[in-house]
Structure 1
C-alpha cells in the first residue's frame, strides 16, 4: 500500500479518535450520561467507558430521565448522538432537575445548523454564524434547569459542544454509524412519496456527518449513488452550503458510492452463511442490549457455578461480547464455522501451550477453553475466550439449526424459481411458500422464518416479469393463508407480538399491507437497466444462483476499463447545478469512481459480512483503497422491518 493510502487509512482512525479525545478531556470529576448509539461508538473506538474512568470520570450512566446524579456530584456531561430536542432534551432536563449540578456540558453529534433548522423546518442548514444562537439558547436553558433563575448567587456554568460522534470502526477500513441504524429506504405505496426530508428526519444530520468527515480529510467528494434514498442523500450533501464552501478549497479527492439496501434485500436476508462466519454470528447470537452490531455470548460454561439459564430467558445470564473491538476480523476472515473452529483452536493452543489434535470439534474446543479459563486464563485471555465460545455456540443449537433450515429452503426455492419459464417458476414457488405457511408448526418453522422466505424470493424475482398479473390467484391464496397465520400466532402470543390483531378482518388488512410491501420489494430495481436482475437462471452446466448486487456494482466502479459497461443506473450530482437523473458517463467531463485515490462505499440500510469480504477482495484485486461503511451490520431478521407494518404488529427482533 502506498504512503498516500496509508495517510487516508490513518485519517479515518484519526478522525474518530480526535473527536473522542476531545470528549474525554471534558469528563474529569463529572458524572457522564450517554445515549446508546454514542455508547456503541465508544465501545468500538475508545475501549469503552474505561477511557472515561481513566480520565477521572465519577461514573457513567445511560442518558434517560430515570437516572440522576448524587448530592455530591456537581458536574455532569451529557453525550448524545442526535440533536438536543424532543425526548432527548426532556431527558436532560429531568436529570438536571433531579440533581444538584452546578456545571453541565452537553456534547451533541448534531451541528448548530441542524438545531437551527429544527425551529424552522422549511429552512436549509447553513454555516451562518447566527445558527450558534441555538446552542446559546440551550446553554441558557441548562442554567435555568440548574437553578440560576432562583439562586443567582450560585456559580452555575453550562457548555454546549458539537462533536461528530457518529462512526464506529469495526475493523481496518470498515465502519458503521450506530446513530443511523434505522436509516433505510421504504417499500410499498408510501415509497412513491419522494419527500425524503419528511420521512427521514435525520437526512440533514447524516449529510452533515459526511461533510464533517470530508472536511477532516480536506477533501472534495464525487458522490455516486444508486437508489432513491441514496440519490436524495447525495443531493442533500451536494446542496449543503458548508459542503459547497469546503469543496472550493479542498486539495484531496474522494469518491463516495451510496447504495440502497432495499435494492437487494435478497442478500440481506440470505441465511446461507457459508461465505462468512460473521453472518452466522449475527444471525444466531442475540444482539447485546443497546447495541446494533455486538452480539451476546453465554459465558456461564466458564464459571464454577455453571447453572443453565431458563430456556425462555432472551439473553444469557453471564453475557460476553462476541465481536468486540479488534476481534471482528476473526469472523470476517473465516468463511465457515469449521474454519472458525480451526482458527480459534490455533489461538487457544498458543495461549495454553497445548498439543494440537487431528480433528477439531465444538466439544473438544469447549473443553480446551474451559481448561484455559480454570487455570488462570479467564482474565488474561478474556477476549479470546469470548470469541471461542461465540464460534462454538454458532456451530450448534436450535438457533443455528433454524438458520441452516431456512438457508436450505431458500436454495430450493431459488432453484425452482430459476426454471426456464420465469412466470411459471414464480407461481410454483408461491404455492410452496403457501404450503409452508400451513404446515409451519409441523416443520418447526416460525412465522418470521417463512416471512424471510417471502422477502428473499420477491427480491430475487424482482421486476423481471409482472408478478402481480402472472400470479394473481396464487398471491391471493398466499395472502389469505398469511392472514390466518397472523391471527393464529397473535392470539397465541407467539413471537412476543402484542395481540393487536383480534379478528379476521384486521388480519386480512395486515396481510394485504405486507404483500403490498413485498411487491414494492420486487419493484425496487424496476428503474434500473444493467442491474435489474440478480438471478442467474438454470442451464445444463450450472444450477440457478443469486448474485449479490453490491459487490457487482463496486467491481464495475473500481475497474475503469469497464466504464463503457456502466449505465445510467449509477448517477452523480453535478456541483453548482440541481440534482437530476444524470447518467454517470454521458461525457468525458463526468467523474469516474476509479479516478480517486480513495473510495468510500456507504450502504444505507445495512451491510452483510459476505458483502464486506467480497468488496475487500475486489479492492485488493484492483489495487484500490476502499473504506467500507454502512448504517449497520444487517442480519436476516433486520429485513423483517421492511414488511411488518409497525402500527399493527412488532416482530421480536
Structure 2
C-alpha cells in the first residue's frame, strides 16, 4: 500500500501538549473531547490524564458544577470543543466562581478565526481568544484573594478525531453534521461547516499535504466549496505545489440511508451497536454491563455503576469485531478465555472446540470469575469487556426482533426488485404496523424500516397513492394509540426519542391526540418523500438494486462499496457523480497547460480519504479494512465520518428530529 499517514500520530500530536499542561491541575473536559481521548487511549481517557499528573478530572457540563469546589490546587486546565460562545461564558464563569484558581489554561479545539466569542466587558480585541482570555482574567480577579495577577492562556489544538482503527476515524465534536434532508442550510449548519473545514485544514497541515477535493451530493458540494475557498487552506496548497497530495472525497450520508438503516448481522460490531446501549455521553461506544463478573451483584438492583466498553488501544481486537464472521469471532474469544484461565480450570476440550456459542463462552467467563483470580481478571480486563459485550449481544432479548427485521429487509428487497412499480411492500408494512405488538416490533424500528424502504426505492420506484394512504392510516392509528398509552402509563425506564417526542406533546384530550397523530404522520411522510429524492440527480449511483437475471436474487450494494470498486478498478472508469474541485487558481492553470493529457484520477494521490457527512456504519468500516488487508498496490485508504451509526441513530436524526412538537 502506498503512503504512510498515521491517524494515531495526528491524535498524539494534539494530545501530548495537553498532557504536558495538566500536571497538578484540575482538568475539566467536555463530552466530545472525552470521546476523542477515549478512542485514542483505548478507553483509558481518565487514567491517561491522571498518569500525566492531573490533580483531578471533571466532566465539563453545567449540571456538574453546582456543588463542586476543587480542593488542593489553584491550577485549572479546561479542554473544550464547543462552538457555542454562550457555553464558554456560562460554563467557564461558573467554574471560576466555584473555585479559587490563579492559573487557567483553555485548550480550545475551535480556531480563534471561527469562534464567535463576544466579550461581556468593553473590549477592543478582535481575536476571540484574546476576548475570552480577558473575560477569564476579570472573573478570576474578582474571585481570588491573591494580590498577584492570575495567569491565563488560551491555546488551539485541533482535537476532533477519534481513531477507531488505523484506517477509520470518527469526529465526535462534529456529530451533528448530517446533511439537511430538505436541503436548507441554516446558520447552525454554516457555523459547523466552518468548524469542520478548519479542522480538516489543521489535519492536512499536520501531514503537510494538499488536498484534491471531490464531492458526491449537494451538501458535500457546499462543504467542498468552503474548504476550497478557505484562505488559509489556499495558502497551504500554494506552498505545497509539486508535493504529495491527498484525495478527499466528501459524500452525503443521505444519499445512502438504505445501508445506514440495514440491521446487519454479519458484522459483529454492527450487531453490538444495534443491541447494546450507548456508553453515557458517547455516540460511538457501547455500555457493557460487567456485573456478571461479580456474583454478589449480578442480580442486585444496584448492579455495577461503571460499565465496560469495546474501545481498545489494541487495533487487532477492534478489527476482529469489524472484519471477522461470527463463527470466527467466537472461536477467537474462546481462545482468549482459555489463555486467561488458571491452569487448574483449563479444559483441552474447550480449547479445541469448533462449536462455540455465547452460552459456552459465558460458562467459561463464570469459571474464571469463580476462580477468584482478581489479578488475572484485571490483567485481561479489556478482553473480558469485549467477550461480555459479544455474549450480551448474542443473548439479548432484542435478537428475535433483529432477526425478524433482517428477514423483512430481505423480503422487501426481493419484492421491490421483482415487482418494481407494482410492489405491494407498503401494504405489507401497513399490516405489520397494525400487528406490531403481536409481531414484537416497536414503532422506532418500523420508522427505521420505512426510511430503509423509501431510500431503497428512490425515485426509480413509485408507490401507488392507495398504498400510501393505507400507510398513512396505519401510522396515524399507531401514533394515536401510543400517545394514549404513554399518557396512561408514563414510562419509568429510559425512554426513546420517539417516546420523548410524544410525551412532550403533553396531550390528554382524545381529539387533540388524534389531530397530533395526523400532523405527525404528515410530517413523517414528508420526510420519507424527501428521503426518496436524495439520489434523483445522481447518474452512476442513482439506482440501488441489481438483479443480473431472473434466476438470481436481487442485491443492493452500498454507495461506499460501489465507489471503492470503481475507484480501484484497473480500467479507472469515469465516475460521473464524483465532482472534482480545482483546489486553487494555480492548479486550474496547470490543468489548462496539461490539456490533452490524461485527466487526474483520485487514485493518483498516495492517500484517499472518504469522509461521509452524517456518519459511517461498521459494515462500511469492514469494507475498508478488508480492502486495506487484501491490496498492497493501492493508495492508503481512510474512511471517516461524524460518528458510527446504528439504524436507530438514523431514525432519530433523519425522521424524529424533523417532527415539530
The normalised TM-score by structure 2 is 0.88
Conserved 8 A contact 1:272-1:407: yes
Given the alignment, which residue of 333, 337, 359 partners 1:344?
A: 333
- Secondary structure of 2:580's counterpart equals coil
Q: Which runs of 5+ in 1 are unaligned?
A: 121-129
Aligned equivalent of 1:174: 168
Given the alignment, which residue of 10, 13, 29 partners 1:15?
A: 10
Aligned equivalent of 2:389: 390
Q: Cα distance 1:538–1:531, how it changes in 2: closer, same or farther (>3 A)?
A: same
- What CA deviation, in whole Å up to 9, does each residue of 1:121-169 have, x standing for no partner? xxxxxxxxx9972111111100111125986833311111100000011
Distance in 2 between residues matched to 1:163 and 1:452, nearest whole Å: 38
- Secondary structure of 1:231's counterpart equals helix
Aligned equivalent of 1:183: 177
Query: Given the alignment of the two structures, is residue 321 of structure 1 paired with residue 309 of structure 2, yes or no?
Result: yes
Shift of the alpha carbon at 1:429?
0.2
- What CA deviation, in whole Å up to 9, does each residue of 1:602-646 have, x standing for no partner? 111111111111133334435331112111111110110244343
Q: Which moved more, 1:349-358 or 1:16-25?
A: 349-358
Conserved 8 A contact 1:262-1:521: yes
- Secondary structure of 1:418's counterpart equals helix
- What CA deviation, in whole Å up to 9, does each residue of 1:452-484 have, x standing for no partner? 11111111111114x3xx411211221122122
Structure-to-structure mapping, 1:497-536, within 5 angstroms:
497=500, 498-501=502-505, 502=507, 503-536=513-546
Distance in 2 between residues matched to 1:180 and 1:474, nearest whole Å: 38
Shift of the alpha carbon at 1:264?
0.7
Aligned equivalent of 1:111: 111
Q: Which moved more, 1:544-553 or 1:496-505?
A: 496-505
Conserved 8 A contact 1:340-1:391: no
Query: Given the alignment of the two structures, is residue 295 of structure 1 paired with residue 286 of structure 2, yes or no?
Result: yes
Query: Given the alignment of the two structures, is residue 613 of structure 1 paired with residue 622 of structure 2, yes or no?
Result: yes
Q: Which moved more, 1:526-535 or 1:79-88?
A: 79-88
Aligned equivalent of 2:450: 454
Aligned equivalent of 1:124: none
Aligned equivalent of 2:271: 280
Query: How many corresponding residue pairs?
Result: 615
- Secondary structure of 1:398's counterpart equals coil
Query: Given the alignment of the two structures, is residue 629 of structure 1 paired with residue 640 of structure 2, yes or no?
Result: yes
Given the alignment, which residue of 259, 266, 271 partners 2:258?
A: 266
User: Alpha carbon RMSD of aligned pairs, Å?
Assistant: 2.7
Distance in 2 between residues matched to 1:629 and 1:525, nearest whole Å: 21
- What CA deviation, in whole Å up to 9, does each residue of 1:403-450 have, x standing for no partner? 11111111111111111x41101xx00000111111101111100111
- What CA deviation, in whole Å up to 9, does each residue of 1:223-268 have, x standing for no partner? 1110112111111110000000000112321111111111111110
Conserved 8 A contact 2:624-2:638: no
Distance in 1 between residues matched to 2:186 and 2:637, nearest whole Å: 28
- Secondary structure of 1:254's counterpart equals strand
Aligned equivalent of 2:232: 242
Q: Cα distance 1:209–1:557, how it changes in 2: closer, same or farther (>3 A)?
A: same
Q: Which runs of 5+ in 2 are unaligned?
A: 508-512
Aligned equivalent of 2:203: 213
Q: Which moved more, 1:81-90 or 1:590-599?
A: 81-90
Aligned equivalent of 2:470: 477
Shift of the alpha carbon at 1:587?
7.2
Shift of the alpha carbon at 1:561?
1.7
Distance in 2 between residues matched to 1:431 and 1:308, nearest whole Å: 44
Given the alignment, which residue of 29, 53, 68 partners 1:56?
A: 53
Distance in 2 between residues matched to 1:59 and 1:588, nearest whole Å: 61
Conserved 8 A contact 2:113-2:127: no
Distance in 2 between residues matched to 1:490 and 1:506, nearest whole Å: 9
Query: Given the alignment of the two structures, is residue 83 of structure 1 paired with residue 83 of structure 2, yes or no?
Result: yes
Conserved 8 A contact 2:141-2:149: no
Q: Cα distance 1:538–1:113, how it changes in 2: closer, same or farther (>3 A)?
A: same
Shift of the alpha carbon at 1:119?
6.0
Shift of the alpha carbon at 1:297?
1.2
Q: Cα distance 1:538–1:509, how it changes in 2: closer, same or farther (>3 A)?
A: farther
Conserved 8 A contact 2:417-2:545: yes
Distance in 2 between residues matched to 1:261 and 1:239, nearest whole Å: 23
Conserved 8 A contact 1:556-1:563: yes
Larger relative contact order, structure 1 or 2 (CA cutoff 8 Å, min sep 6):
2
Distance in 2 between residues matched to 1:309 and 1:554, nearest whole Å: 49
The normalised TM-score by structure 1 is 0.89
Query: Given the alignment of the two structures, is residue 402 of structure 1 paired with residue 395 of structure 2, yes or no?
Result: no
Q: Cα distance 1:150–1:304, how it changes in 2: closer, same or farther (>3 A)?
A: closer
- Secondary structure of 2:179's counterpart equals coil
Query: Given the alignment of the two structures, is residue 305 of structure 1 paired with residue 296 of structure 2, yes or no?
Result: yes
Aligned equivalent of 2:248: 256
